Each structure stands twice: as C-alpha cells, then as structure tokens.
Amino acid sequence: MLSLGDKQILVTGGAGFLGKQVVEQLIQAGANPDNINIPRSRVCDLRDLHSCTEAVKNQDVIIHLAAHVGGIGLNREKPAELFYDNLMMGAQLIHAAHQAGVSKFVCVGTICAYPKFTPVPFKEDDLWAGYPEETNAPYGIAKKALLVQLQSYRLQYGFDGIYLLPVNLYGPEDNFNPESSHVIPALIRKVHEAQQRGDRTLPVWGDGSPTREFLYSTDAARGIVMATQKYEESEPVNLGTNYEISIRDLVELICELMEFKGEIVWETDKPNGQPRRCLDTSRATEKFGFIAETEFRQGLKNTIDWYRNHGS
C-alpha cells in the first residue's frame, strides 16, 4: 500500500466540489497537509504544456480532478470547448507527469464515457461497446481518450497511471449554477426558487423515465484515495453505489424532502439524456475494498440543507 505521509501530492481541481473532499480524505489517510499542492486555474492553465510541466515538478503523486464539465445544457451549448479543454488538460498533464518521473497518476474519468446503450449495470469491460449518448459524447470521449493514454504509457514506459469512473456525484458545496449544474443541484435550486416565488407548478426537462445512480461526494473522495493507495493496474474501475433511481422518482423525492406541494410538469420536448445509468461496482470492492456508505435519502437531505444555508 502506498504510504502518503512523505509524498508531494498535486490535486488538480483541488479547490472544487470533489477536490475539497479528496484533500480532506488524503489528510485522513496520512498525507501531510503542507505537501498537498492545488494549482489554481487563474495562474495555471492545464491546457498549456508549459503550465503542466511547471505544475508537476517535484511531485510524487498526481490526482487529476480538474475538468470543464456541466449538465445537458452546457454539453449542448459548448461541445467543442468541452472536448478540447478536457482532452488537452489531461493529455498534457499525463505527458508532463511521465517526463517528470511522477510515481503515481490518478485520472478521474466520467460515466459519460460509457456507450449510450450499455447493459445495466455498466461493467468496465463494456466501455468500448458503442458510442456515448450524443449530447455528452464530446466530453465523454475526451475523457475516455485519457484511459488509452495511461494504458499506452504503462505499456511503453512503465508509468503507473490508474483510471477511475465515478458515477454522477452530489453533495454539499455542489455547483448550483443553473447554466452548468448537474441534475440534483439543478433540481434543488429549481424547487427552492419555485417555493420562493410561490409557484404551483415545477417544469422539469424530459419525461422522467431515464434512470441515474448518484454517489455522495465524501464517498467518492474516499474511493479515490483508497485507489491511489492500493490500486496499480491498467483496467478502469467504476466508483458508485449500485443503486438506480428514475428521474421521476428523484424529482418526487426532492419535492418531498423540500416540502414542495405543487405539480410536476414534464417537458417532453426537452432531451432525456442517456436512458439508464447504473454501475457494476464489484471491481472497486475486489481491488481496493471500496463500498459506498452514505444512504441516498440522507445524502440528499444533507445537500438540500447545505443549499438552504449557503447557496441561495
């Protein structure tokens, strides 16, 4: 097992929603807080090779969380930016890390990399069995290319890079910006604002039929750190809960927890996104002992409470 106590650790995206949790979990796992380095985008543009080269100097471990990411709306509006930014950030950081002699590289990918129609639960071996759902394919393919890069660098250079596939994340401090947020924070904000206005209806994109799986951010961070310490193989690994819920049931649960009494109106002319998402999480359990701990209803309640206290 990799001991973190004396390691210099670079966490890209370390000031973000997931990144803050990863830093906390690293410290709990024995990392020295003074040795955890977080490059900030305003001074370190990871799309630039020189910036990547500077960022990885004297680092032992790199955890790459930084991403240009959002929900269906952003994916439809800026597919070119999402493809270019995510591909360039990851590819150049991996290359710079290899050149600098970094001993461990942890790349956090995306569930959007899976084919649009994948047998449920998604198994890592099905990752290449088809084209991703069209609205998020540019983002998903850019991130999936980094898996190929890590596997290639392991084969040719012996570079120890691992690739993790977390399912949709949620939790306190999530991104609640309606222009770029994912489904849970978007719905929480939508319900809250409807309540503030006294609305009696709640419009929601799609028909409610797609299913999703959600992983609480603290659990995801713990899984990432466990993999950093214990996993040294080339095959990708899912991080999830193996709990699937329909968007319809999710909206109704959020309305219940937030005590919204109005009518849900399904906007069936808007896109649904991928039909189903649920992960087979057995590899993470077998390889490094990860099992999600946060019960979904409680995690949602924590997220709603945080937003009401901080986000609105």
143 is an annotated ligand-binding site residue: yes
Asked if residue 267 belongs to a domain, the reply is no
Where residue 80 falls among pLDDT bands split at 50, 70, 90?
very high
Q: Alpha-carbon dihedral of residues 92, 95, 101, 103, nearest 10 degrees?
A: 80
For residue 68, being part of any structural domain is answered with: yes
Nearest to 62 by CA among 102, 96, 22: 102
How many angstroms separate the CA atoms of 152 and 60, rounded?
20
Is residue 207 included in any domain, yes or no? Answer: no
For residue 98, the domain's CATH number is 3.40.50.720
Angle between helical axes of 17-28 and 217-230 (0-180°, round to 10):
50
The answer to whether the beta carbons of residues 299 and 171 sit under 8 Å apart is: yes
Amino acid letter, 209: S
Answer yes or no: is 27 within a domain. yes
- Say which of 84, 131, 139, 216 is annotated catalytic: 139
Q: Annotation-wise, does 182 bind a ligand?
A: yes
Residue span of the structural domain in which 159 resides: 9-170+214-242+277-292
Residue range 210-266, pLDDT digits in tens: 999 999 999 999 999 999 999 999 999 999 998 999 999 999 999 999 999 999 999
Confidence band for 272, pLDDT divided at 50, 70 and 90: confident
What pLDDT digit, counting tens, does each position of 276-302 carry? 889 999 999 999 999 999 999 999 999
**Is 79 annotated as a binding-site member?**
no
pLDDT for residue 180 is more than 90: no
| Residue 167 known to bind ligand | yes
Is 298 part of a structural domain of the chain?
Answer: no
- To the question of whether residue 68 is assigned a binding role by annotation, the answer is no
Annotated ligand binding at 18? The verdict is: yes
Answer yes or no: is 4 a known binding residue. no
* pLDDT score for 59: 98
* Rounded Cα gap, residues 251 and 44, in angstroms: 38
User: Residue 57, annotated ligand binder?
Assistant: no
Is 70 assigned a ligand-binding role in the annotation? no
- Tell me if 177 is assigned to some domain: no
pLDDT score for 69 = 78
What CA–CA distance (Å, rounded) separates 63 from 7?
12
Residue 312: predicted pLDDT: 60
Beta bridge partners of 33: none
User: Which amino acid is located at 39 in the chain?
Assistant: P
Check residue 276 and give its pLDDT.
85
Taking the CA atoms of 151, 182, 65 and 123 in sequence, report the sign of the dihedral they define. negative
pTM for this predicted structure: 0.92
Residue 304 lies in a domain: no
Tens digits of residue pLDDT in 130-166: 999 998 899 999 999 999 999 999 999 999 999 999 9
* Predicted pLDDT at 137: 94
Q: Is residue 65 part of a domain?
A: yes
pLDDT tens digits along 28-44? 999 999 999 999 878 89
Q: Is residue 139 among the annotated active site residues?
A: yes
Of 151, 67, 109, 86, the closest CA to residue 237 belongs to: 109
How many domains does one find in the chain? 1
> Environment class of residue 37 by beta-carbon count within 10 Å: exposed (0-12), middle (13-18) or buried (19+)?
middle
Query: Under 8 Å CB-to-CB from 270, ≥6 apart: which residues?
Result: 205, 206
- Reported as a pLDDT band with limits 50, 70 and 90, residue 97 is very high
Q: Which of 214, 149, 167 is nearest to 188 (CA)?
A: 214
Residue 74, pLDDT > 90, answer no
Contacts (Cβ under 8 Å, ≥6 apart) of 20: 14, 173
